[in-house]
Amino acid sequence: MTMLQGFQIALHALRLNPLRSFLTMLGIVIGVASIVTVFAIGSGAQLRLQEQIRSIGANVLMITPGAVYQGGVRLKDGSKLTMTEGDVQAILEQIPEIQAAAGSLAGTAQVIHEGKNWNTTINGTTSGHFMVRDWQLASGRYFSGAEETGAGKVVILGSTVARELFAPGDDPIGAQIRIMKVPLEIVGVLDRKGPAQDDVAFVPLSTAKLRFLGSASNINRDSVAYIIAKVAADGQMAGARAEIESLLRQRHRIPAGQEDDFKVQDPAAAMEAQQGAIRTVALLLVAIASVSLLVGGISIMNVMIVSVTERTREIGIRRALGGRMRDIRLQFLCEALVLCLLGGAIGVAGGITLSMTVARMAGWITSIDGEAIGLALAFSIATGLIFGFYPAHKASKLSPIEALKTE
């Protein structure tokens, strides 16, 4: 008997009892669907992180406010803007490894153009920001020096904002938009960097302070919320970081032994660490899903054992008519394999559907790769072979005479 005949006999037997066959497969279906879904969501999250790492740009350090003490009480990190434009200038001038640096103030606001409006992040910064992030223009220009120092009423749009406010054919350059009642002229539109990055509008830092935050008395005229700085080469990251730390401690007059009021971070490194964490969690979830596969395998073994018992007489007949022991074994092994493969295929389809639904509902990115599908199917074949072997072996060992005597 050939493999093909084995599969034909198996399909024939399974078709006779479709409900039982389906229930038997259910564990495999659930296990495989879970594995595919976890992989899809996990690799989607990885892709999103990679996009963010890319969008930050290479060799970028980020300086954010740290702990602040007021009358001996430690306030929450970032509760006070401790960095200044002076710090930006000092970092740029005194640390040779730093190629570019920019301070930013950011908030969200409604951006209005004629009938359309869009809620987005408003980032007040300087042209250095675009240099640090290697962010090119799709059209127009960056801020001029005069606009940066003189609070020019100009704005550079991220591609998402441009798309939301303007029809595909319209050129946004030169058009007027309004942010918090202030009319601004669009001087540039940025290249795409990724869905999470492109939803932003940049104005000069001085413009943000004068026109949007002018009334906010708790903000020092010189403050910035965070600083980003670009280091010339990969190998200089650690050195540049140490130099920035000592420079800022000196400028902020932090005595030895006291905690810094700022934090220097390497966002790419942090995200890479996060990526590792995602991978670990995904592997853990796959391990949990594998338990479902195991349960599915045991259920297949159970049903196959029952099936062998029920069909003892059939086995006896097949043996009397010339079936060899290995033919009987192959027949039942094929049945287990078909159950697992069908269950695996249904599971893959279910997993794809589930992850696409989750992606749509939660707004996550998911990515389904052939590797995950291949792995899931390989798992189900292995399950079929491992858990199908014992019942098939048992069937092949039956004495034909005894088997023919059973009812």
Partner 1 sequence: MTTLPLISLRSVSRTYRTDGVAVTAVRNVSFDIAPGEIVAVMGPSGSGKSTLMNMIGLLDLPSEGAVHLEGANVAELSEDRRSSLRARSIGFVFQSYNLLARHSAIENVALPLVYCGISRRERLARAEQSLQAVGMLHRAHHFPRQLSGGEQQRVAIARALIASPLIVLADEPTGALDSRTGAEILALFAALNRAGQTIVMITHDPGIATQCRRTIRLHDGELVSDETIAELLPRRSVAS
Which residues contact partner 1 by CB under 8 A? 1-2, 5, 12-13, 16, 313-314, 316-327, 400-401, 404
Q: For partner 1, which is the closer residue by CB, 13 or 28?
A: 13
CB of residue 362 vs partner 1: minimum separation in angstroms? 47
Pairwise CA distance, residues 3 & 209, whole Å: 77
Q: How far is the CB of 398 from partner 1 (least distance, A)?
A: 12
- Helix (H/G/I), strand (E/B), else coil: 174: coil
**CB nearer partner 1, residue 12 or residue 116:** 12
Q: Nearest to residue 331, comparing CAs of 342, 344, 341, 319?
A: 319
- Residue 321 CB, shortest distance to partner 1, in Å, is 4
Q: Which is nearer to partner 1, 279 or 394 (CB)?
A: 394
**Structure token digits, residue 373:** 């599908």
**CB nearer to partner 1: pick between 130 and 332:** 332
**262 token code pair:** 């700022």
> With the C-alpha atoms ordered 276, 280, 281, 286, is the resulting torsion angle positive or negative?
positive
What does the angle CA 211 – CA 144 – CA 206 come to, to the nearest 5 degrees? 25
What is the closest distance, in whole angstroms, from the C-beta atom of residue 1 to partner 1 in the complex?
6
Nearest approach, Cβ of 302 to partner 1 (angstroms)? 21
CA dist 165 and 116 (Å) reads: 6
Nearest-approach distance from CB 322 to partner 1, in angstroms: 2
| Of 20 and 324, CB closest to partner 1 | 324
DSSP H or E segment with residue 114 = none
Query: What is the C-alpha R_g of the chain?
Result: 33
Torsion of CA 156, 160, 162, 166, to 10 degrees: -170
Complex with partner 1: residue 238 or 401, whichever CB lies closer: 401
